[in-house]
């Protein structure tokens, strides 16, 4: 079974600074996807960024980027120029690859609560 571990229950960062959230995972599969989701106080789960395991290039979405280390099974999220609106719970999630047809199940980590200090 796949597991996802987020070892930082809480993090804080000064506005405009950079913060990195950690995530490690365990799987025996070679085809999979990794995601970072953001859940603000409204509880709406919002996709931040996605990484396909077969891609060596790290995904980037504006101020959000990942450091994907496949051999180490590590998938960290870097938020640059932190903004007040970035305050939320951040969840790392794993999903088996498309080759495993019919498995849309996401396995989530326990989350990291990010606080932005004005």
Partner 1 sequence: KAGVTQTPRYLIKTRGQQVTLSCSPISGHRSVSWYQQTPGQGLQFLFEYFSETQRNKGNFPGRFSGRQFSNSRSEMNVSTLELGDSALYLCASSTEGSEQFFGPGTRLTVL
Q: Which positions lie near partner 1, rule CB under 8 A?
A: 33, 35, 37, 42-47, 50, 91, 98, 101-111
* Closer residue to partner 1 (CB): 67 or 107: 107
CB of 92 to partner 1, least distance (A): 11
* Closer residue to partner 1 (CB): 42 or 71: 42
Beta strands (DSSP E) in the chain are: 3-5, 10-14, 19-21, 24-26, 32-39, 46-52, 60-61, 64-69, 74-79, 88-96, 107-108, 112-117
* Closer residue to partner 1 (CB): 19 or 48: 48
* Closer residue to partner 1 (CB): 16 or 98: 98
CB of 91 to partner 1, least distance (A): 7
CB of 59 to partner 1, least distance (A): 12
The CA distance from 45 to 92, in Å, is 12
The CA distance from 118 to 111, in Å, is 22
| The Cα angle at residue 97 between residues 88 and 103, in degrees rounded to 5 | 85
CB of 14 to partner 1, least distance (A): 28
């Amino acid at each position: 079974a796949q597991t996802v571990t987020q070892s930082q229950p809480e993090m804080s960062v000064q506005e405009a600074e950079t913060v990195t959230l950690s995530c490690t995972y365990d799987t025996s599969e070679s085809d999979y996807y990794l995601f970072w989701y953001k859940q603000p106080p409204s509880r709406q789960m919002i996709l931040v960024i996605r990484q396909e395991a077969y891609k060596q290039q790290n995904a980037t979405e504006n101020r959000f980027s990942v450091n994907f280390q496949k051999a180490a099974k590590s998938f960290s999220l870097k938020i640059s120029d932190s903004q007040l609106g970035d305050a939320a719970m951040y969840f790392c999630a794993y999903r088996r690859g498309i080759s495993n047809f019919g498995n849309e199940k996401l396995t989530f980590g326990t989350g990291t609560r990010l606080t932005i200090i004005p």
